[in-house]
């Protein structure tokens, strides 16, 4: 057993309602077919009948007929019937000037179907003055036409809750309007020809051209009349059918129901049921029809039943197909992941799947038949929803139709949540079905929000990044995104940026041989391959101005599109700074090079000068050395020359003498005395040669001794040293000369201690000076005789930083004219052979140069001579010098 | 001819006497020797007859040779004076010449030349 589902149930209700209406309409038309018009008064009354029937059939409060005035500028009311009052009244003329929209609508559309007359733009003009006062909410205006000409309009005005005019009502109104037109025409003809006109005839004409098939069946079920439309619909010609049994054409399964409907005799006004039956097309296919019929009045002259057949094949097939498909889909729908809802034209829920139960918290049986907006929408949105539905039904326009929209839904427990829905609308005949698939997008919303926030943060970062950042679609080579800096850098606004790409902002300048195109492609390709590129390039502003930039490209993680992120830094300043730096460096380098050159020159000069100076110094030193040496050398030369002179001479002479001797030893004979003399001379000469040679030797040695390298200092006890060499000198002198005698007066300061001196050299000094003193005193004694007592006083003294040694003789003193010469090398007052004369000069060198001390002489001619030696206790360090 | 030789070197006498042995033997020359300028002047004051030439070393103890030269030239102008020096230079020869010396001889003496010069003095 087939249990009807909701749709079937509701669909059947709708079908039943439609059937009822059709029946009523047909009855009405049949009823009106009896009208006979024979005159003007008949016309008027015919019109009244027509509008009254129309009002009753349509259940419409006010039905009126209006005729156009001259030039269609106005409408005059011909008749007006009010249903509830059951009265005929009049209405005022309508002028185009007052109701321009209405007149225009009539002119253009002819028919005005205004479900909501108050708001419909075509009828709104009547709102305040007419509709509201009379309570009219819906209007159905159809034109009264004769041929193509519009004579006027049939107005059906509904009072009460606004109604939705359905198509059969429209058709019915049209039929009524046609009758009115016929009546009007007939009345004109009748007026002329005074020939009564059977409306029936007109009706017949009308009927013959109707879409539906009308047939008259006699008592035996034979077809006595059928409208020509049968040909179009079923393929038969009328003559094929007339006279045949109607049962031949009706489907055997449906025949019983049909016969049943019309078997029982009915009262004339009793409506027959609408039966759906299948009728065979001439070609053999079955077509579905809804039939409604009535028994004809016997007085009509046409016995039998008149039936109207409406072809509902298409609809039936559609319905079946839909039902099938819906049966197929219901399982799918029922188990779909999304919630599925369906609502009818009135906004009632007719579909509700399992998911909808879960999403909204309502069981199916609870919501079927309830108003959808009340169940799933928050209160604030219900009104808008209802309006939208009505508007759609009215205008066919729906904001929500056939697209995915987001809205807020309501759970049974009062909680609101975001959903996404897609709604479609299906109309089958008069039944509207709105279907919607709904998805709870709370989670998605949250994720979207999070993503949005993250994107926002990212965007802020990018926007405020100091660099210019762009995102390039590698395939289209366009910028799909760019931050403010990038836009500013290249001179395009956000919109323009999306229409350009790397090609447009790369300058062809400075590209050696490569095109911009190939360069861009190559770089993008490399970036996509996974490289992170960095390179410098000349970019181009929108204005054409070029500037150098550093570009970094990196591929963005795969998002389906091939995207490359680029950051661009204008390096004009850097370049300029680099150039400046280079220039500066170069200048600096040049300057430095120049400076270096100058310095080198200077250096060379200085070097030269230094060399010269050194040379000069060396020369000077040499000269000084030479000078002192010169003195020395002169002295030496002189000194050596003399003995050497003798050596030579005596050697020569010796040779000569030997010759002479030889001569003498000749046979001629020589005296012994002469030979003896010669031999004596030769002997002497040899001795002299020897002596002079030794003399020369001594001189040289003395000189060498003086110029030998320095001796080392040693801490020496001064008193001891002085004492030793004083005594040495004394004994030495006494040994040489027996007559030599002198008194020694020795006074040593015990505080002196030891100081660093060169002992060999200091001892030589002491020896020398003591010798001189002894010699001098001895000379004086030799001159003055025994009464003179030579005394030599030797004193040492501690003078703080210095140590003093004084040697004083009471000899003849030094005459003033030679006093300054005594320290000169080779200066001597002694006879030849006694001393070299180097003594005091060497003493001076030793004391002053070597020991950094002082050697001073004090003398009084005839009285004394005193030599004072001062030696520093701590001689300062000085570099050794070869003297 | 009488010649005075002034030189502080003792062996100068032995040298001269050997060099001039022939002349001395022949009696054409007589030599006197003084060891200093002072003793030379003393000799000259004693007025020994016919002193033709004085040969003096420049370097003498006490009064130097140049001074002796001047003194001789001042007092005994007819006596020629030859100066003997270890070496010669322009300044010395000029000075010596200015002071009136007839010649400046350098050591070692060229005795042959000296003999020639002396014979020129005394025709």
Where do the H-state alpha helices sit in A546-671?
A: 572-664
Residue A805 forms part of a structural domain = yes
> Are A58 and A200 within one domain?
yes
**Boundary of a domain, candidates A137, A170, A205:** A205
Burial call B11-25: b when 16+ CB within 10 Å, e when fewer: bbebbbebbbbebee
Burial call A335-346: b when 16+ CB within 10 Å, e when fewer: eeebbbbbbbbe
Nearest to A681 among B18, B61, B87 (CB): B18
**Boundary of a domain, candidates A536, A565, A594:** A565
Instruction: Output the pLDDT for position A637.
Output: 60
Interface test with B, best of A634, A636, A645 (most B CBs within 10 A): A645
Please list, in sequence order, all residues whose beta carbon lies within 8 angstroms of the beta carbon of residue A48, skipping any fewer than 6 positions away.
A79, A81, A88
In chain A, the residue whose alpha carbon lies closest to the alpha carbon of B9 is A832
> Are A280 and A361 within one domain?
no
**Percentage of chain B modeled with pLDDT above 70:** 98
Are the beta carbons of B18 and A646 separated by less than 8 Å?
no
**Boundary of a domain, candidates A145, A176, A205:** A205
> Are A359 and A390 within one domain?
yes
> Are A798 and A680 within one domain?
no
Are the beta carbons of A649 and B87 separated by less than 8 Å?
no
Whether the CB-CB separation of A134 and A128 falls below 8 Å is answered with: no
Chain A positions in Cβ-Cβ contact with residue B108 (cut-off 8 Å): 641, 645, 648-649
Pick the CATH number of B2-121 from 3.40.50.2300, 1.10.3720.10, 3.40.50.410, 3.65.10.10: 3.40.50.2300
DSSP B58: S
Residue A542 forms part of a structural domain = yes
Instruction: Output the pLDDT for position A65.
Output: 93
In chain B, the residue whose alpha carbon lies closest to the alpha carbon of A687 is B11
Question: Where is A67: in which H helix or E strand?
Answer: strand A62-68
Are the beta carbons of A688 and B87 separated by less than 8 Å?
no
β-pairing, A213-217 vs A305-311, is: antiparallel
Residue A732 forms part of a structural domain = yes
Q: What angle do CA A215, A216, A220 make, to 5 degrees?
A: 130
Q: How many interface pairs between A and B have CB atoms less than 8 angstroms apart?
A: 37
Interface test with A, best of B11, B35, B62 (most A CBs within 10 A): B11
pLDDT tens for residues A534-590? 999 999 999 989 999 999 999 888 667 788 999 998 888 888 787 887 887 787 778
Are the beta carbons of A645 and B8 separated by less than 8 Å?
no
Secondary structure tally for chain B: helices H, strands E: 6, 5
Compute CA distances A159 → A62, A122, A132, A165, A796, whole Å.
Answer: 8, 18, 10, 13, 163
Q: Divide the 883 residues of chain A into consecutive groups of 10 and give the mean pLDDT of each group.
A: 55 69 78 63 82 90 91 90 90 88 86 89 88 90 85 91 86 86 74 52 58 77 80 84 86 83 62 77 86 60 66 73 72 76 88 90 90 90 87 79 85 91 80 86 84 80 78 90 89 91 88 85 88 88 91 83 88 81 79 80 80 67 48 59 82 84 70 80 85 77 58 86 85 74 90 89 87 90 86 93 94 90 80 68 87 93 94 73 46
Are the beta carbons of B9 and A642 separated by less than 8 Å?
yes
Q: What are the backbone angles phi and psi of residue A220, rounded to the nearest 5°?
A: -85, 5
End-to-end distance of chain A based on CA atoms, in angstroms? 151
Domain membership of residue A275 as a residue range: 212-311
Say how many C-beta atoms besides its own lie within 10 A of residue A122's C-beta.
Answer: 21
Are the beta carbons of B18 and A831 separated by less than 8 Å?
no
Rounded to a whole number, what is the distance in Å from the CA of A639 to chain B's nearest CA? 9
In chain B, the residue whose alpha carbon lies closest to the alpha carbon of A640 is B86
Nearest to B108 among A638, A648, A829 (CB): A648
Whether the CB-CB separation of A777 and A864 falls below 8 Å is answered with: no
Instruction: Output the pLDDT for position A201.
Output: 57
Taking any CB pair shorter than 8 Å as contact, residues of chain A touching chain B are 637-638, 641-642, 645-646, 648-650, 653, 657, 681, 684-685, 688, 692, 829, 831-832
Strand partners, A349: A343
Residue A460 forms part of a structural domain = no
* Burial (CB count within 10 angstroms: exposed 0-12, middle 13-18, buried 19+), residue A501: buried
Where do the H-state alpha helices sit in A113-222?
A: 132-134, 167-193, 199-208
Residue A570 forms part of a structural domain = no
In chain B, the residue whose alpha carbon lies closest to the alpha carbon of A651 is B15
Whole-angstrom distance, CA of residue A501 vs CA of residue A492: 11
Q: What is the CATH number of the domain that holds A220?
A: 3.30.450.20
Q: What is the CATH number of the domain that holds A188?
A: 3.30.450.40
Q: At what angle do helices A6-32 and A199-208 cross, to 10 degrees?
A: 140
> Are A696 and A729 within one domain?
no
Query: What stretches of A719-829 adopt beta strand conformation (E)?
Result: 743-747, 754-757, 791-799, 802-809
> Are A292 and A218 within one domain?
yes
Interface test with B, best of A642, A652, A826 (most B CBs within 10 A): A642
Q: Is B62 on the interface with A (CB under 8 A)?
A: no
Q: At what angle do helices A167-193 and A199-208 cross, to 10 degrees?
A: 140
> Are A51 and A150 within one domain?
yes
ipTM score here?
Answer: 0.74
Query: What stretches of A767-861 adopt beta strand conformation (E)?
Result: 791-799, 802-809, 854-860
**Structural domains counted in chain A:** 6
Nearest to A646 among B11, B59, B61 (CB): B11
* HSE value, Cβ hemisphere, 13 Å, CA-based, for A199: 27
SS (H, E, C) A21-53: HHHHHHHHHHHHCCCEECCHHHHHHHHHHHHHH
Please list, in sequence order, all residues whose beta carbon lies within 8 angstroms of the beta carbon of residue A149, skipping any fewer than 6 positions away.
none
Strand partners, A535: A551
Whether the CB-CB separation of A424 and A402 falls below 8 Å is answered with: yes
Where do the H-state alpha helices sit in A396-480?
A: 442-464
* CA atoms A454, A459, A464, A469: torsion sign: positive
Compute CA distances A144 → A115, A267, A554, A562, whole Å.
Answer: 20, 33, 76, 67
Rounded to a whole number, what is the distance in Å from the CA of A645 to chain B's nearest CA? 6
Instruction: Output the pLDDT for position A1.
Output: 46
Q: What are the backbone angles phi and psi of residue A25, rounded to the nearest 5°?
A: -65, -45
pLDDT tens for residues A429-458? 777 888 888 888 888 888 888 888 887 887
């Amino acid at each position: 057993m087939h249990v009807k589902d909701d749709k079937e149930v509701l669909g059947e209700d709708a079908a039943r309602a439609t059937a009822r209406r059709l029946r009523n309409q047909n009855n009405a038309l049949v009823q009106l077919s009896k009208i006979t018009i024979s005159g003007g008064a008949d016309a008027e009354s015919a019109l009244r009948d027509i509008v009254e029937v129309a009002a009753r059939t349509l259940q419409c409060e006010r039905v009126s007929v209006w005729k156009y005035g001259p030039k269609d500028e106005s409408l005059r009311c011909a008749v007006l019937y009010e249903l509830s009052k059951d009265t005929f009244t009049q209405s005022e003329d309508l002028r185009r000037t007052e109701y321009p929209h209405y007149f225009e609508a009539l002119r253009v559309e002819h028919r005005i179907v205004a479900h909501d007359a108050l708001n419909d733009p075509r009828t709104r003009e009547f709102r305040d003055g007419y509709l509201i006062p009379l309570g009219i909410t819906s209007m159905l205006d159809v034109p009264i036409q004769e041929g193509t000409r519009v004579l006027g309009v049939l107005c059906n005005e509904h009072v009460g809750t606004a109604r939705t005019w359905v198509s059969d009502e429209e058709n019915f109104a049209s039929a009524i309007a046609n009758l009115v037109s016929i009546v009007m025409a007939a009345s004109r003809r009748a007026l002329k020809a005074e020939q009564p006109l059977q409306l029936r005839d007109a009706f017949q004409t009308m009927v013959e051209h109707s879409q539906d098939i009308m047939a008259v069946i006699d008592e035996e079920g034979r077809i006595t009349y059928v409208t020509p439309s049968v040909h179009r619909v079923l393929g038969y010609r009328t003559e094929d059918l007339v006279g045949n049994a109607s049962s031949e054409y009706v489907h055997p399964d449906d025949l019983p129901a049909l016969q049943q409907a019309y078997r029982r005799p009915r009262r004339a006004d009793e409506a027959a049921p609408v039966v759906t039956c299948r009728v065979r097309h001439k070609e053999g296919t079955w077509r579905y029809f809804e039939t409604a019929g009535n028994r004809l009045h016997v007085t009509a002259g046409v016995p039998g039943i008149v039936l109207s057949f409406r072809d509902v094949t298409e609809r039936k097939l559609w319905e079946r197909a839909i039902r099938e498909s819906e049966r197929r889909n219901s399982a799918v729908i029922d188990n779909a992941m999304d919630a599925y809802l369906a609502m009818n034209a009135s906004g009632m829920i007719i579909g509700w799947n399992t998911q909808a139960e879960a999403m909204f918290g309502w069981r199916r049986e609870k919501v079927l038949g309830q108003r959808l907006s009340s169940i799933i929408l928050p209160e604030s949105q219900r009104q808008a929803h209802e309006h939208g539905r009505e508007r759609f039904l009215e205008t066919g326009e729906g904001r929500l139709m056939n697209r995915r929209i987001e809205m807020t839904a309501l759970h049974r427990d009062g909680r609101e949540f975001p959903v996404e829905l897609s709604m479609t609308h299906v109309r089958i005949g008069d039944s509207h079905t709105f279907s919607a698939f709904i998805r709870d997008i709370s989670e998605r919303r949250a994720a979207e929000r999070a993503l949005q926030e993250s994107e926002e943060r990212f965007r802020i970062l990018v926007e405020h990044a100091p660099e210019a950042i762009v995102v390039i679609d590698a395939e289209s080579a366009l910028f799909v995104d760019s931050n403010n800096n990038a836009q500013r850098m290249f001179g395009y606004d956000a919109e323009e940026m999306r229409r350009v790409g790397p090609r447009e902002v790369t300058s062809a300048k400075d590209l050696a041989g490569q095109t911009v195109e190939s360069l861009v492609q190559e770089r993008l390709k490399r970036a996509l391959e996974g490289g992170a590129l960095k390179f410098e390039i000349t970019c181009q502003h929108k204005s054409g101005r070029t500037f150098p930039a550093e570009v970094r490209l990196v591929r963005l993680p795969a998002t389906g599109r091939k995207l490359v992120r680029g950051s661009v830094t204008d390096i004009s300043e850097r370049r300029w700074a680099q150039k400046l730096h280079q220039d500066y460096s170069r200048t600096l380098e040049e300057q430095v090079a120049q400076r270096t050159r100058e310095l080198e020159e200077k250096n060379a000069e200085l070097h030269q000068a230094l060399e010269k100076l050194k040379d000069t110094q060396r020369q000077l030193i040499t000269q000084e050395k030479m000078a002192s040496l010169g003195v020395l050398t002169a002295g030496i030369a002189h000194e050596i020359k003399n003995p050497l002179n003798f050596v030579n001479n005596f050697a020569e002479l010796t040779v000569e003498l030997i010759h002479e001797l030889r001569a003498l030893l000749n046979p001629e004979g020589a005296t012994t005395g002469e030979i003896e003399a010669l031999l004596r001379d030769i002997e002497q000469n040899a001795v002299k040669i020897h002596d002079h040679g030794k003399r020369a030797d001594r001189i040289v040695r003395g000189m060498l001794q003086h110029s030998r390298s320095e001796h080392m200092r040693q801490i020496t006890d001064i008193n001891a040293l002085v004492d030793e060499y004083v005594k040495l000198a004394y004994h030495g002198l006494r040994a040489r000369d027996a007559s030599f005698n002198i008194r020694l007066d020795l006074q040593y300061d015990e505080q002196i201690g030891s100081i660093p001196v060169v002992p060999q050299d200091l001892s030589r000094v002491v020896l020398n000076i003591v010798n001189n003193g002894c010699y001098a005193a001895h000379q004086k004694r030799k001159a003055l005789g025994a009464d003179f007592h030579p005394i030599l006083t030797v004193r040492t003294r501690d003078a703080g930083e210095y140590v003093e040694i004084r040697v004083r003789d009471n000899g003849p003193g030094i005459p003033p004219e030679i006093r300054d010469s005594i320290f000169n090398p080779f200066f001597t007052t002694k006879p030849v052979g006694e001393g070299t004369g180097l003594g005091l000069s060497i003493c001076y060198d030793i004391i002053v140069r070597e020991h950094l001390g002082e050697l001073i002489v004090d003398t009084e001619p005839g009285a004394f001579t005193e030599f004072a030696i001062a030696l520093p206790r701590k001689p300062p360090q000085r570099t050794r010098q070869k003297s | 001819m009488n010649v005075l030789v002034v030189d502080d070197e003792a062996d100068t006498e032995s040298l001269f006497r050997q060099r001039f042995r022939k002349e001395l033997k022949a009696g054409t020359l007589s030599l006197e020797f003084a060891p200093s300028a002072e003793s030379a002047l003393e000799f000259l004051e004693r007025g020994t007859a016919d002193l033709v030439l004085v040969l003096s070393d420049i370097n003498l103890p006490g009064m130097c040779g140049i001074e002796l030269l001047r003194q001789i030239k001042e007092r005994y102008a007819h006596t020629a004076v030859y100066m003997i020096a270890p070496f010669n230079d322009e300044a010395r020869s000029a000075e010596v010449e200015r002071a009136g010396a007839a010649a400046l001889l350098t050591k070692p003496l060229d005795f042959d030349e000296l003999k020639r010069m002396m014979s020129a003095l005394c025709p």
